[in-house]
Amino acid sequence: MVPIAIYIVLGLMGLGLLSIVAFGIRSLTFGKVQPMTIAFIAFPLVVLIVLGLAMPSWAEAGIMTILITLGFALLALLYTGIKGLFS
């Protein structure tokens, strides 16, 4: 029973991810989303793929992706804070 439930959950997750990508592409083609927004959302995925192919294990690549994304988020917060301070 449990293995069947796991496959059902994985299938539903795959369908959900597929629909998110499809509706994202649809919104992009209709001009509802700016391309820069898509780039910010796709950045961690691109970093994960690059690191996954370059590093010995995908687990290490996932951890490094989280750390790199966290670093960029902190830099962005610092930048906007300093920009707001001097504006």
Total domains present in the chain:
2
Which domain covers residue 51, as residue numbers? 34-87
Residue 52 near residue 61 (C-beta atoms within 8 A):
yes
Lowest-pLDDT range, 39-43, 66-70, 80-84?
39-43
Tell me: do 57 and 82 sit in the same domain.
yes
Tell me: do 59 and 78 sit in the same domain.
yes
Tell me: do 75 and 47 sit in the same domain.
yes
pTM greater than the 0.75 cutoff: no
pLDDT digits (tens, 9 = 90+) for 17-35: 999 889 888 888 888 888 7
